[in-house]
């Protein structure tokens, strides 16, 4: 199975770049399943229902989120209406929406996708992500109820992300980190067969500070005083993500490599898809 994960869409430039490029990527690379993190898609803060639906219409099978999931008030209302919209699974019981779901890939495979949020340097501090993952895996084990299992681990600390990867190694197909908006160079397959990447990066303008117009964050670092609101940068976007090939026999990863398309970072498409 060919899986593509795209990192956090930031603002209009990030989301429109994904919408423009994703249909062609699905066709050209013969992708079976696509997950996109959308938690910064609405001006850099949260996501609206229209943006979610447009992302699904562009070809995403699931849209994950993170700590900004409720920044747009309407998300509380629409989260429960769409199975393909995931918020972190380790929110307390009774939170609107869902944190995981079982979906069907284009090749007919059953794909469990789970969105979990870390707790180190993160706000709000949610329930234990490791215990949440254990519950999810126990309810839908790999190669029993699911042919592939994907975790979007939305977290700040790379140590926490790496430990989470080792925790589910051999029981999940792929663990990808989101939240920091900077792509890491540690794409690998762990000892038990789980593909891992600390952060997929973002889909947005890299002439920025994490996708935001750089003047205001730079001012705050220098003066310690806000001058205005943080605004999403609106220059040309670079799409960042990662491609994974998953064995139909074992449900574990066989190949992993980054995907980057755009003007700022060196362009790369997974060699095994060329």
Q: Could you give the 3-state DSSP secondary structure of residue 28?
A: helix
Mean pLDDT of 93-114: 98
For residue 210, pLDDT beyond 90: yes
Domain that holds residue 245: 1-271
Q: Looking at residue 97, what is its pLDDT? A: 98
Cβ neighbours of residue 32 closer than 8 Å, sequence gap 6 or more:
1, 2, 3, 105, 106, 107, 109
Q: Looking at residue 164, what is its pLDDT? A: 98
Is 107 known as a binding-site position? no
Is 39 known as a binding-site position? yes
Q: Looking at residue 205, what is its pLDDT? A: 98
CB atoms under 10 Å from CB of 93, counted, come to 5
Angle, to 10 degrees, between the axis of helix 158-168 and the axis of helix 129-139? 30
Is 254 known as a binding-site position? no
For residue 108, pLDDT beyond 90: yes
Q: Looking at residue 65, what is its pLDDT? A: 98
DSSP state of 53: H
For residue 274, pLDDT beyond 90: no
Using alpha carbons only, give the angle 242, 244, 247 rounded to the nearest 5 degrees. Answer: 170
Q: What is the pLDDT of residues 87-96, one digit of tens each?
A: 999 999 999 9
The CATH number linked to 78 is 3.60.21.10
Q: Looking at residue 131, what is its pLDDT? A: 98
Q: Looking at residue 26, what is its pLDDT? A: 98
Q: What is the pLDDT of residues 143-173, one digit of tens each?
A: 999 999 999 999 999 999 999 999 999 999 9
Q: Which of 68, 82, 123, 166 is catalytic?
A: 68
Q: How many structural domains are present in the chain?
A: 1
68 as an active site residue: the answer is yes
Q: Looking at residue 237, what is its pLDDT? A: 98
Question: What percentage of the chain's residues is helix, strand, coil (to nearest 5)?
Answer: 25, 30, 45
């Amino acid at each position: 199975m060919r899986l593509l994960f795209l990192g956090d869409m930031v603002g209009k430039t990030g989301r429109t770049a994904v919408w423009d490029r994703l249909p062609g990527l699905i066709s050209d690379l013969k992708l079976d399943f696509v997950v996109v993190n959308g938690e910064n898609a609405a001006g850099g803060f949260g996501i609206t229902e229209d943006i979610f639906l447009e992302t699904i219409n562009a070809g995403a099978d699931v849209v994950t989120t993170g700590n900004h999931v409720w920044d747009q008030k309407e998300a509380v209302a629409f989260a429960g209406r769409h199975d393909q919209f995931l918020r972190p699974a380790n929110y307390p019981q009774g939170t609107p929406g869902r944190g995981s779901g079982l979906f069907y890939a284009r090749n007919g495979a059953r794909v469990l996708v789970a969105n979990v949020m870390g707790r180190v340097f993160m706000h709000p501090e949610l329930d234990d992500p490791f215990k949440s993952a254990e519950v999810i895996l126990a309810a839908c084990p790999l190669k029993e109820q699911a042919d592939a299992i994907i975790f979007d681990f939305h977290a700040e600390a790379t140590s926490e992300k790496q430990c989470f990867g080792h925790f589910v190694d051999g029981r999940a197909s792929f663990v990808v980190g989101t939240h920091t908006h900077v792509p890491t160079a540690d794409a690998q397959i762990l000892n038990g067969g789980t593909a891992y990447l600390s952060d997929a990066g973002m889909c947005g303008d890299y002439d920025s500070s994490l996708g935001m117009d750089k003047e205001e964050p730079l001012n705050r670092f220098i003066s310690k005083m806000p001058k205005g609101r943080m605004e999403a940068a609106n220059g040309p976007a670079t799409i960042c993500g990662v491609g994974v090939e998953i064995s139909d026999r074992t449900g574990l990863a066989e190949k992993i490599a980054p995907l980057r398309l755009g003007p700022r970072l060196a362009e790369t498409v997974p060699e095994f898809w060329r």
